[in-house]
Amino acid sequence: MSPRAIRWTIIAGVLVLWEVLPRAGLVPVLFLPPLTTTLSVAVTEWRSYGAALAVTLSQVMVALLFAVGGGILVGAIVGGVARMRQVLLPVFSSLYAVPLVVLYPVFTAWFGIGSEAKIAFASVYGFFPTMLSTAAGIQTIDPNLMLTARSMGATPVQRLFRVILPAAIPTVLAGLRLGGALVIIGVVVAEMLISSAGIGYLITSSRTVLNSPHVFAGVLLVLLIAIGFDLAMRLLEKRCAAWSGAGRARPGASDVRPAEA
Amino acid sequence: MSQTLAPDAAAAAADAAPIVSVTGLGHVYPSREGPVHALADISLEVGQGKFVVIVGPSGCGKSSLLMMLAGLRHQSEGAILCDGRPMSDPDPDRVGVVFQEANLFPWLTAIENVAFPLALRKVPRAERQARAAAMLELVGLADARGRYPHELSGGMKQRVSIARGLVQNPKVLLMDEPFAALDEQTRMAMGEELLRIWSETGKTVVFVTHSLTEAVYLADEVLVMSARPGRIIDRVAVPLPRPRTYAMMASPVFGALRERIWQQIRASAR
Ligand SMILES: Nc1ncnc2c1ncn2[C@@H]1O[C@H](COP(=O)(O)OP(=O)(O)OP(=O)(O)O)[C@@H](O)[C@H]1O
Ligand SMILES: [Mg+2]
């Protein structure tokens, strides 16, 4: 069987078990309501779920903009300027290790329990990996490429846009993937902790009244967002697939053709 | 096959106006262990359309000298004139550079790589494409125009790099061990190829190599440098006729020239 077929078989298997196990009474319905029950909740209550999805998605979008835009910008500066790198990179790397979730109550104290707090929290949450990844990408650009561009009379601006940025794209994409995932987690977790709207909020409020089908309908929607993001990333990565992975400093490797999959 | 001097070639060398002239050039690198005196008292002239090869022990400053000729680094003392003007900054209209590594931009196809210097100069797209395609044709890679660097062999990459060095139509092409990363067979073929391109374009070439066979095979004149601080200790004119053939490598003239250069390098490196 091809990996693709195996993958789909596993997914189908999980879906079937999700339906069969609770119906057969092997798993209490309170712990896991059957798939069809969950789906029917999502369909019959599409109004409230749709609204929640819109809230969560819009906040993910805005936070993504801040996290990724800021992350790439700061990362490019920190990675590109030696002095900044020496001073700031260790600080940022340590900050990255701090579990930011503990700070969310502080965010709500500052921004209230509306969307601002969620956006701020998720932005910060996604900012660090994108920033660190971009900084690393820019730092490892083959200096020979810069020298070559210079020998052709490239101005500093041309070097930035025609060499540094294109060369950094694969690492930036990797950072974007990680940062985007964290932004989604950040928004949903924030909604689950303290908030007044969104899918995370729906999940938590349904859980407190032990309404399992509603909880799982929310979980399904979060899954949907994650899958959507993954697909979007794949599309983006595909556009760079022709050359990504090359262009970094790989000592002595410039004449070795990378083993292409 | 016996080789004789080609007197008219030697005469032509004498009256060609120098396109590159270096006088009293010296260079000192600052470093943590104190200043490194890399080059000292280098004076040389390269005639228009000549093929000049620089050889010398490792670390004697060949690459440094080329960087300065390319305007990529500023010498501590002395003057460099190219086409009558100082080389204070890189100027692709006067000097093109080919490095040891092909240094192709991995996100661009072969033809886009060749067109890159033209894009920097905002040459219109159609003209860019046409000129880049012509250069790829010249290096025998017309079929590979759409391929990315990782889809090319080492020799093909270096050809693209040469095409890119030539596309701006510079007066001088500087080459720093361009074939050093290639295997022996590819290297020989590339040398032959380069001579063909050189004779078709009439460019002036300054070429650095570690291979004495390559040096004698390619050069009108071989400049021999001493160990650090690098000076020019010998200028060896190569009177072999053109076009050069592999068979000439077996000739006594070829062997004698190689031997002479080798002795110089050995003596200076001691
Ligand atoms: N940026 C630099 N800073 C300090 N020293 C340098 C620098 N670049 C080169 N050098 C020194 O200058 C000397 C000449 O270096 P260069 O690279 O020009 O030699 P080369 O003749 O090209 O050597 P090779 O044949 O091994 O390529 C060397 O001793 C090297 O250590
Ligand atoms: Mg060198």
> What domains can be seen in chain A, in order of their start residue?
34-247 (1.10.3720.10)
Q: Tokens in use for B25?
A: 């050039």
Helix (H) or strand (E) holding B163: helix B154-166
> CB–CB of A195/A117 below 8 Å?
yes
More confident call, B175 vs A215 = B175
The residue among A180, A184, A175, A169 whose CA lies nearest residue A240 is: A169
Q: Cα of B60 to ligand 1 centre, how many Å?
A: 7
pLDDT of the residue at A247: 41
What backbone phi and psi angles, to 5 degrees, belong to B219?
-85, 150
Over the Cα atoms of chain A, what is R_g?
A: 23
To the nearest whole percent, how much of chain A has pLDDT over 70?
A: 92
The residue among B214, B260, B198, B188 whose CA lies nearest residue B53 is: B214
Task: Give B137's contacts (C-beta < 8 A, 6+ positions apart).
Answer: none
ipTM of the complex: 0.86
> CB–CB of B215/B209 below 8 Å?
yes
Q: Contact A153/B90, CB-based, under 8 Å?
A: yes
A92-108 average pLDDT score: 81
Helices (H), ranges, chain A: 3-23, 35-44, 46-80, 82-97, 104-111, 115-139, 143-151, 156-159, 165-193, 199-208, 212-240
d(CA B161, CA B157): 6
d(CA A34, CA B109): 53
pLDDT of the residue at A3: 86
Task: Give A56's contacts (C-beta < 8 A, 6+ positions apart).
Answer: A187, A188, A191, A198, A199, A200, A221, A222, A225
d(CA B94, CA B65): 16
Q: Tokens in use for B201?
A: 């374009």
pLDDT of the residue at A30: 84
pLDDT of the residue at A217: 87
Supply the pTM of this predicted model: 0.76
Chain B within 8 Å of A166 (Cβ-Cβ)?
yes
Residue nearest to atom 17 of ligand 1 (CA): B63
d(CA B246, CA B249): 6
Domain ranges of chain B: 48-72+88-268
More confident call, A135 vs B98 = B98
Query: Which of A144, A148, A155, A159 is best to mutate for the B interface (most B CBs within 10 A)?
Result: A148
Residue nearest to atom 12 of ligand 1 (CA): B38
Cα dist. A19→A15, A231, B110, B130 in Å?
6, 26, 55, 63
d(CA B223, CA B42): 11
Digit-coded pLDDT (tens) for A154-213: 998 999 889 988 888 888 788 888 888 989 998 998 888 887 888 888 888 888 888 888
Residue nearest to atom 11 of ligand 1 (CA): B38
> CB–CB of A82/A135 below 8 Å?
no
Q: Tokens in use for B41?
A: 């008292």
| Chain A 208-247, residues with CB within 8 Å of chain B CB atoms | 240, 242-243, 246-247
d(CA A257, CA B153): 7
Average pLDDT along chain A: 83
- For residue B70, the 8-state DSSP code is T
Confidence of residue A244 (pLDDT cuts 50, 70, 90): low
Looking up tokens 């701006």, which residue turns up?
B168
For residue A204, count other CB atoms closer than 10 A to its CB.
17
For residue B270, count other CB atoms closer than 10 A to its CB.
7
Burial of B159 (0-12, 13-18, 19+ CB in 10 A): buried
Q: Tokens in use for B48?
A: 């228009």
| Length of chain B counted residue by residue | 270
Chain A within 8 Å of B73 (Cβ-Cβ)?
no
Q: What is the largest CA-CA distance in chain B?
A: 55
pLDDT of the residue at A245: 46
Q: Contact A257/B153, CB-based, under 8 Å?
A: yes
Over the Cα atoms of chain B, what is R_g?
A: 18
Angle at A11 (CA atoms; ends A8, A12), nearest 5 degrees = 85
pLDDT of the residue at B77: 92
> CB–CB of B83/B132 below 8 Å?
no
Domain range B48-72+88-268, CATH architecture:
3-Layer(aba) Sandwich (3.40)
Residue nearest to atom 28 of ligand 1 (CA): B59
> CB–CB of B132/B111 below 8 Å?
yes
Chain B within 8 Å of A168 (Cβ-Cβ)?
no
> CB–CB of A155/A230 below 8 Å?
no
Each residue's pLDDT, cut to its tens digit, for chain B (270 residues) gives 444 445 455 445 445 578 999 999 999 999 888 899 999 999 999 999 999 999 999 989 999 999 999 999 999 999 999 998 998 899 999 999 999 999 999 999 999 999 999 999 999 999 999 999 999 988 888 899 899 999 899 889 999 999 999 898 899 999 999 998 888 888 888 899 899 989 988 999 999 999 999 999 999 999 999 988 899 999 999 999 989 988 899 999 999 999 999 999 888 876
Helix (H) or strand (E) holding B190: helix B184-201
Distance from CA of A227 to the nearest CA of B (A): 28
pLDDT of the residue at A1: 77
Digit-coded pLDDT (tens) for A118-130: 899 899 888 988 8
Digit-coded pLDDT (tens) for A47-62: 888 888 899 999 999 9
Confidence of residue A134 (pLDDT cuts 50, 70, 90): confident
Looking up tokens 């210079």, which residue turns up?
A150
DSSP string, A118-148: HHHHHHHHHHHHHHHHHHHHHHTB-HHHHHH
Q: Contact B105/A150, CB-based, under 8 Å?
A: no
pLDDT of the residue at A42: 82
Beta bridge partners of B237: B221
The residue among B84, B263, B96, B69 whose CA lies nearest residue B170 is: B96
Which residues does a 6 A CB cutoff place in the pocket of ligand 1?
B 29, 31, 36, 38, 56, 58-64, 228
